Amino acid sequence: MPIQNVCVIGLGSMGMGAAASCIRAGLNTWGVDLNPAALETLRQTGARDAQTAADGFVDQLEAVLLLVVNAKQVNAILFGDNGLAARLKPGTVVMVSSTISAQDAQQIEQRLAQHQLLMLDAPVSGGAAKAATGEMTVMASGSDAAFERLQPVLEAVAAKVYRVGSEIGLGSTVKIIHQLLAGVHIAVGAEAMAMAARAGIPLDTMYEVVTNAAGNSWMFENRMRHVVDGDYSPKSAVDIFVKDLNLVAETAKALQFPLPLASTALNMFTEASNAGYGREDDSAVIKIFSGITLPQGKEQA
């Protein structure tokens, strides 16, 4: 039977959007995060409750949606001290939407199965704006039972759901390949805008030209807007792409597959992180280029 009671763990921009979308769809929705402001926001949005742990409502849950940063956090939440897996009802579906390796996804599924829990390997994309409107893209793999039970959640949070297959790990691999493109697009966008700055081209003009011409991409249009505005408040941080492009590199190594462009992009993001920009918006990768003057936001001017 499709589920009605769902908990979203990780109320960042994507998780908050997913939780709000579940509420709008009429699902009984709970939230878990360590950020008190996020918890209060979700309560005001109409959640049944939002706390720093699921202890008070774990027995009511039929599905858990994990939107945390990495596999380490997923494992800590599910299997660490006071881990959730041992306390969820048998048959509960765990939708893992973090960007993780296929191997990590498979190991998590095996451990969940020991507790008679189902897993959907279901990374997401679309950014905060699409998360907020319930229009994310989900690239998922798992059993028919997991898909069927999670149908109300998937309908609530996503405009597109791609069923990659039944094998856990396939969804994660599709997301990793997607992140190869996303990271390279940001890096090459930064390179192009840095070159424009060096040539004395106004960056707002360069941005307008590219976004109305064939060289545009979604990532260029979204992230280079931050450069034009001089606003590096993190929507997605540099360090996220250090993590994701390392996952790309590890996946390619396992496949014995060369990735010249992704390797260069990883080096650029790593350099930006080492220079102290790791917690800034990932568009701050442009700051690795010397000899250029970049626009400054009002708070920096």
Say which residues have a Cβ less than 8 Å from residue 40's Cβ, sequence separation at least 6. Answer: 50
Q: Which is the catalytic residue, given 130, 175, 243, 287?
A: 175
Q: How far apart are CA 39 and CA 24, in angstroms?
A: 17
Query: Could you tell me which of 73, 70, 119, 79 has the C-alpha nearest to residue 98?
Result: 70
C-alpha triplet 204, 206, 207: angle, nearest 5°: 65
Q: Cα separation of 105 and 164, whole Å?
A: 14
Is residue 89 flagged as an active site residue?
Answer: no
Cross-strand partners of 8: 31, 65
Beta bridge partners of 139: 162
Residue 186's contacts (CB-CB under 8 Å, 6 or more residues apart) are 219, 220, 223, 241, 265, 282, 283, 285
Distance of CA 140 to the CA centre of its chain: 14
Pairing of strands 124-125, 136-142: antiparallel
Residue 96, burial from CB neighbour count under 10 angstroms (0-12, 13-18, 19+)? buried
109's CB contacts (< 8 A; 6+ apart) are 119, 121, 168
Residues assigned a catalytic role? 175
